[in-house]
Amino acid sequence: MIQQITSPEAEAQNYSQDVIVKCNHVESAHTILAHKHLRGQLLFISGGNLSVKIENEQWSVTPQQAVWIPPLATHEVSSSNGLVYCSAYIDESSNILNSIRSGTVVLSTLSRELMHKCATFAEDYKRNSPEARLEKVLLDELTSISNDDNAVPLPSDPRLLTICNTVLAKPWLDKTLSDWSEFCGASERTLARLFKAQTGLTFSQWRDKARVSYAIDQIAKGNSLTTISVNLGYSRLSTFTSMYKRTTGLPPSKHVKKCLFERTL
């Protein structure tokens, strides 16, 4: 059963510091109903999965991804199997993320580690304290973040959302829209039209993005490209590599090297 709860970090809005960071582990499926913050929220996922709706747009967020929710933006989040996350609540006056669109963003390893460290601080730390200086480093590091080109947008149509959630849970599924049309009770043409209109992608393009998202998470966990390729149902590694490069512009080996480098930092 999905639990409906209110935002647990509302008290972060009441402090004078430029940034307040909180980490949490929610074990069960849950939904936080539509709400908004005076502060911007940078939400980093380290475990589980999350669906985030910001105003009229919706994204799937997987481990090692982050999402930026601007100040006063109405948003709703839900997780189907629990969640491990960190949230940085950033005062609007800092202006550090004004150029970033709402949605998923690329977060550096240093930013992630700083968020986890800052989450251990008391919320009422003094402005000239060591805690304040380290949070200033975090804010400086966050100026380098950018929107994530590998973001997986979600449609609003309930039929399409059911398809997307199923594929995200089982990205190796190879069903076509024709196969899904029988399940949804809508024609293939209708599904294709709605998919393009609501995500900006064809179903095939969207599924490739979902598979890349899965692959990035598995690479970060140290799994080999061969294992990831097999898990996604590819009979040849070269076919998987071609899909990955077509979708991201880079071969998966580049992402492996990036993860190996980050582990040495």
Indicate the pairing of strand 30-35 with strand 3-5: parallel
Q: Is residue 217 over pLDDT 90?
A: no
Q: Is residue 169 over pLDDT 60?
A: yes
Contact 18, 93 (CB under 8 A): yes
What residue spans define the domains of the chain?
A: 3-147, 155-263
**Banded pLDDT at 6 (limits 50, 70, 90):** very low
Largest distance between two CA atoms of the chain: 63
Output the pLDDT for position 68. Answer: 94
Q: Is residue 108 over pLDDT 70?
A: yes
Output the pLDDT for position 48. Answer: 81
**Angstrom distance (rounded) from CA 218 to CA 228:** 7
Please give the distance of CA 60 from its chain centroid, rounded to a whole number.
6
Closest listed residue to residue 148, CA positions, set 109, 113, 196, 103 = 103
Q: Is residue 216 over pLDDT 60?
A: yes
**Banded pLDDT at 259 (limits 50, 70, 90):** low
Q: Is residue 142 over pLDDT 80?
A: yes
**Banded pLDDT at 262 (limits 50, 70, 90):** low
For the beta sheet containing 75-79, the strands, ordered from the edge strand earlier in sequence to the opposite edge, are 3-5, 30-35, 75-79, 50-54, 57-61, 152-154
Class of domain 3-147: mainly beta
> Regarding predicted confidence, which is higher, 167 or 262?
167
Mean pLDDT of all residues belonging to the chain: 86
Instruction: Count CA atoms within 13 Å of residue 39 on its CB side.
Output: 22
Average pLDDT over residues 51-78: 88
Output the pLDDT for position 255. Answer: 78
**Angstrom distance (rounded) from CA 190 to CA 139:** 45
Question: Mean pLDDT highest for which of 26-30, 76-80, 100-104, 224-228?
Answer: 224-228
Output the pLDDT for position 183. Answer: 86
- CATH fold label, 155-263: Arc Repressor Mutant, subunit A (1.10.10)
Q: Do domains 3-147 and 155-263 have the same CATH topology?
A: no
Average pLDDT over residues 42-64: 85
